Amino acid sequence: MQDINNGIIKLVRSLAMKKNRDDERLFVAEGTKCVRDTWDAFRCRYLIATRAWYEQCGNASHYDKLVLAPKGQMARMSQFSTPSDVMAIYEIPERTVAPDEVRHGLNIVLDNIQDPGNLGTIIRLADWYGIGNIFANPTSVDVYNHKVVQATMGAISRVKVHYQDLEDLFDDYADLPIYGTFLDGDNIYAQTLEPRGFVVFGNEGKGIGAKVAARVTHRLLIPAAPHQGQGSESLNVGVAAAITVSELMRHTLGASQP
C-alpha cells in the first residue's frame, strides 16, 4: 500500500489518450462494479481508492496494489463527470486469435464503429451469446477507451477484440460466410442462417464501407413493419447487431432447448 503521488496522477491522466494507452500498455477501469467485474481478468498495476472505499469494499487481494488517494485527487484523475472512489490501472493483455475458434463459430466484425457506447453494447451482446471474438478495423473506437470499458459491464473480461485490416481477415478465412445488413438485402426472417462465419456491422452514419460490403456473401435486411406516415430512417447499430445476432443464433439455441 502507498499514498498517491504526482507521478501516478500524471500517468493515470495520460491514459485518457489512446496513444498513451498504447505506449504504456495500460488502461483504466473506474467504479466499484467495473473494478469488481474485471479484477480477476487483468493484471493490475495500481488500485487507486479512497481510504473509505478500501475499508468498506477492499480485501487482502487488493493490498499490494493499493494506492490511497483523497476524493480531490480522485476527481483529478477521473475521466467521468462524477468521479468514483476507486479505479484500477490494468495492463493491456496480448490478444491472440485461435483460428479453429474463428472457423467454427460466429464472429462479429466492426467496420469503422466510432461510438464508445455502441462498442460497449456490442461487446456485451457478444458475451451474452458466447461469441468470443470481435474483429474491428484500426479506425474503429479503441476497446480500452474508458467509456467502452464502462459500457461493457465486465464483458471486456471475456470477449477478445482484435484490430486488423478486414479484407486481410476475410482472405484468411475465405471459405466462411460473411453476413451484413443492408437496406436492399434479403428479409432476415425468411432466410436459413447458421451461427458460423462473420457478421459485419458498419459505421453509425455511413454503414458498411464499400470495400467491406463487396466481400459480404449474405446481404440481409431487417424489415420495418408497415405503418402509416414517416417511420424511423434506420436502427442504431447496437440494436441492429442485437436483432441480427439473435436471428443467426435462433435456430441453434432453439434446438438446444428441452
pLDDT at 190: 93
Hey, what domains does the chain have and what are their CATH numbers?
2-91 (3.30.1330.30), 99-256 (3.40.1280.10)
Question: How confident is the model over 88-116, as a mean pLDDT?
Answer: 95
pLDDT at 61: 87
Higher pLDDT, 103 or 227: 103
List C-alpha distances in Å: 68 to 29, 87, 150, 231, 257. 16, 11, 22, 53, 49
Model confidence band, residue 235 (pLDDT cutoffs 50, 70, 90): confident
Model confidence band, residue 227 (pLDDT cutoffs 50, 70, 90): low
Q: CB–CB of 151/120 below 8 Å?
A: yes
Interval 11-28: pLDDT, tens = 999 999 999 999 999 999
Model confidence band, residue 230 (pLDDT cutoffs 50, 70, 90): low
Average per-residue pLDDT in the chain? 92
> How far is Cα 9 from Cα 5, in angstroms, rounded to an integer?
6
pLDDT at 255: 52
> How far is Cα 159 from Cα 145, in angstroms, rounded to an integer?
15
pLDDT at 254: 63
Q: CB–CB of 115/145 below 8 Å?
A: no
Grid coordinates representing 72 are: 480531490
Interval 137-190: pLDDT, tens = 999 999 999 999 999 999 999 999 999 999 999 999 999 999 999 989 999 999
Model confidence band, residue 229 (pLDDT cutoffs 50, 70, 90): low
pTM: 0.91
Model confidence band, residue 228 (pLDDT cutoffs 50, 70, 90): low
pLDDT at 224: 87
